[in-house]
Amino acid sequence: MALATATAKNTLANAYANAAKFAALYSTVPGATPGTEVNTPRVPITWSNAVGGTVTATVTFNVPTGVTIRGWGVHTAETAGYLDGAETAEQAFASAGKYTLSLTYTAA
């Protein structure tokens, strides 16, 4: 069943944003369980307010030398609470650098 109203879609998108409080980077691809987190702290997520059932956010990580990123995830807490994640284009860091992750969640 598809959601019929914008209010319902926005309510669900905002609920997801309220739960997904931290982003993490992984050296393996996540699925039903999180990937292997790289040696960088989780970053707090500041989501937009839902519009049309969609929330967005952008987070930037400081990535150390020698790390290869293969996935990302969102968590309900700074040290636990895996909620969701996905594969990303593999990116190797021969030297320390920044990685920017754009997040979008749409309630259907």
Where does the pLDDT of residue 24 fall: very low under 50, low under 70, confident under 90, or very high at 90 and above? very high
Tell me the C-alpha distance between 9 and 19, whole Å. Answer: 16
Task: Kindly state whether residue 1 falls inside one of the protein's structural domains.
Answer: no
Give the pLDDT confidence of 27-75 residue by residue, as tens digits. Answer: 999 999 999 999 999 999 999 999 999 999 999 999 999 999 999 999 9
pLDDT value for 54 = 97
Total domains present in the chain: 1
Phi, psi values for residue 29, rounded to 5°: -85, 125
pLDDT value for 2 = 66
Residues spanned by the domain of 50? 6-106
Task: Kindly state whether residue 81 falls inside one of the protein's structural domains.
Answer: yes
- The chain-wide mean pLDDT, for the chain, equals 95
Residues 6+ apart with CB under 8 A from 31: 85
Give the residue among 72, 93, 92 at the shortest CA–CA distance from 83: 72
Paired strand residues for 99: 61
**pTM: predicted TM-score of the whole model, two decimal places:** 0.91
DSSP state of 79: S
